[in-house]
Chain A
Amino acid sequence: MSTETHELGGHIVPYKDLVLVVTALVILTGITVFVSTLDFGYAALNIFIAMAIASVKACLVSLWFMHLKFEDVITWIFIIFSLVLLCLLIGFSLSDEFLRITPKVNF
Chain B
Amino acid sequence: MAATSVEHLHSDGHFVTPQDKYSSMKLGMWLFIATEILLFGGLFAVYAIYRAKFPEMFFNGRDELSLLLGTTNTVILIVSSFSIAMGVTAIQRGKKNLLTFLIIVTLLCGALFGVNKYFEYTAKFHHGIFPSTDIFFALYFMMTSLHMLHVIVGMAILFIIMIFNMKGKYSPSNYTAPEVGALYWHLVDVIWIYLFGLLYLVA
**Hey, which bits of chain A sit against chain B, CB under 8 A?**
6-10, 12-15, 18-19, 21-22, 25-26, 29, 32-33, 36, 43, 46-47, 50-51, 53-54, 57-58, 61-62, 64-67, 71-72, 74-75, 78-79, 81-83, 85-86, 89-90, 93-94, 97-98
Contacts of A47 in B (CB 8 A): 202
A32 → chain B closest CB, angstroms: 6
Report B162-195 residues with CB < 8 Å from chain A CB. Answer: 172-176, 179, 182-183, 186-187, 189-190, 193-194
Q: Which 5 A-B pairs have the closest CB atoms?
A: A22-B82, A82-B34, A86-B41, A36-B201, A65-B85
The answer to whether B52 touches A58, judged by C-beta atoms less than 8 angstroms apart, is no
Structural contact, B92 and A29, CB atoms closer than 8 A: no
Residues of A close to B49: CB separation below 8 A: 93-94, 97
Inter-chain pairs besides A7-B172, A33-B71, A89-B42, 11 sampled, C-beta below 8 Å: A7-B173, A8-B19, A13-B85, A36-B67, A43-B202, A50-B202, A75-B27, A79-B30, A83-B37, A89-B45, A94-B49
Shortest CB distance B64–A (Å): 15
Structural contact, A78 and B183, CB atoms closer than 8 A = no
Q: Is the CB of A94 within 8 A of B45?
A: yes
Which residue from chain A places its CB closest to the CB of B35 in the assembled complex?
Answer: A82
Give Cα A26–Cα B172 distance, bound, in whole angstroms.
Answer: 30
Distance from A87 Cβ to chain B, minimum over Cβ atoms (Å): 9
Residues of A within 8 A of B200 (CB): 36
Taking a contact as CB atoms under 8 Å apart, the answer to whether B34 and A81 are in contact is: yes
Task: Report which of B38, B67, B86 forms a contact with A82, defined as CB distance below 8 A.
Answer: B38
Query: How far, in whole Å, are A7 and B45 apart by their CA atoms in the complex?
Result: 42
Mark B39-51 against chain A: 1 for CB-CB distance below 8 A, else 0. 0011011001100
* Contact among A29, A51, A61, A98 for B52, CB-based, below 8 A: A98
Q: Does B131 contact A (CB under 8 A)?
A: no
Tell whether A78 pairs with B93 under 8 Å between CB atoms, given A54-B197, A65-B85, A72-B23. Answer: no
**Closest partner residue, chain B, to A74 (CB atom):** B27
CB distance from A21 to the nearest CB of B (A): 7
Interface: B13 (CB within 8 A):
no
Residues of A within 8 A of B18 (CB): 8
Q: Is the CB of B190 within 8 A of A78?
A: no
Q: Which residues of A contact B172 (CB under 8 A)?
A: 6-7
On whether the beta carbons of B89 and A15 are closer than 8 Å, the reply is yes
A61 shortest CB reach to chain B, Å: 5
Residues on the B chain within 8 Å of A33, using CB: 67, 71, 201
A71 touches B30 (CB 8 A): yes
CB distance from B82 to the nearest CB of A (A): 4
Binary CB contact string for chain B from 50 to 88 against chain A (1 if under 8 A, 0 otherwise): 001101000000000001000100110011011011101
**Complex Cα–Cα for A18 and B44 (A):** 29
Contact A10 B85 (CB under 8 A): no
Which of chain B's residues 104-159 have a Cβ closer than 8 Å to chain A?
A: none
